[in-house]
Structure 1
């Protein structure tokens, strides 16, 4: 679970190129996005790369059909982690909270990546894993 040189930080295990959404993404767009069973969170960022909110599939449950902006539907509390956090402790937290994804943000709120726990819970997805599932994306 550590990096090649023994780095046990979240930064060593995170996806560096998660898919991002603009603040004007609609609820319809996100429902389509969540049709992919590998998708667990939609990251909404501003034009400076600052994370505004993280929307999970459950946030969309029981909402009426709408084409308006979806940015107000998510939250950040409990859905972020610092890049220097210990990856082993963070994995344990994710397992306890039954959370598969955490946005990795710095102290200014800039999105740095996404920590994506594999379905088995035994490790984290890599950028290569994601690229293999979505060739040409």
Structure 2
């Protein structure tokens, strides 16, 4: 019997997360966060991650503040080869549920999204289903 390899971030990450350009402002992201389903904003420039921004990061910033200046980068990002079970434990201990997934050059590859239950990770299919439900309800 062949031993199974640990699942990695690449196995479970969202492969096409929504992104925002370098011109996004704190005001733009505050408007985005009015949607309860949006938890973080990924600010990128030419595919390179500039910042991962959450609601708390922009709540007191003036509207015209560059969004990238409000968020964090390295401490909110992981690489695709990391063991996902190790990260799941760390995320639960820290109370965090989102990490940007970047390559060694800082290029955005995806988003690791821990489900609210903490038992699994959001999938591209989950996101597509939720978007379809919103279109039907709207």
Partner of 2:50: 52
1:96-135 to 2 correspondences below 5 Å = 96-135=93-132
**Inter-partner Cα distance in structure 1 for 2:78 and 2:122:** 16
Compute the displacement of 1:92 (Å).
Answer: 0.5
State yes or no: 1:95 paired with 2:92: yes
**CA deviation string 1:62-121 (max 9, x = no partner):** 334x23432211111320111000000010111011001000011110110000000101
Corresponding pairs, count = 130
**Inter-partner Cα distance in structure 2 for 1:133 and 1:67:** 31
TM-score, length-normalised on structure 1?
0.88
CA RMSD of aligned residues (A): 1.6
Q: Structure 1 segments of 4 or more deviating over 6 A?
A: none
Rg bigger for which structure?
2
Q: Which has the higher helix share?
A: 2
TM-score, length-normalised on structure 2?
0.87
